[in-house]
Amino acid sequence: MEANLALVHGFVDAWNRMDLEGILGFLAPDIFYHNMPMEPMTGIEQVRAGLLPFLAPATKCEWEMVRIAAVGDSVLTERVDRFWYGERKIEIPVMGTFDIRDGKIAAWRDYFDLAQFLRQMPAPPT
């Protein structure tokens, strides 16, 4: 279980560096990823496409780990995810579940309030 906790901590560190390739490197090739308010994704390329809208326009990212626990091959996290888009900061509480297989994240599910996230997003340029 310690290795699984370390894996998820490393994954969060990659987010904090805004290192997309590093983030993807923690995922199994057949990763199942579901941001619960959105459609699920399967496979590295779908996940890459799903993460780009969050990371590409961001100027900074900080995921604060509030709590983390492991049971067998599952790791549960309570986090506060922060993204900066220019001077605007978006902050949302997130519960995350990670299923680990062969030293990689095989399934990742995050639960958060999408409306809360969208209310904080900057308006698109006109």
> Over 70: is that where the pLDDT of 126 sits?
no
Task: Spell out a b/e string for 91-108, using b for 16 or more CB atoms within 10 Å of the CB, else e.
Answer: ebebebebbbeeebbbbb
> Over 70: is that where the pLDDT of 4 sits?
yes
List the domain boundaries for the chain.
2-120
* 26 burial via Cβ count (<10 Å: 0-12, 13-18, 19+): buried
Architecture of domain 2-120: Roll (3.10)
The pLDDT tens digits for 65-116 are 999 999 999 999 999 999 998 888 999 999 999 999 999 999 999 999 888 8
Question: Could you tell me the pTM of the whole model?
Answer: 0.90
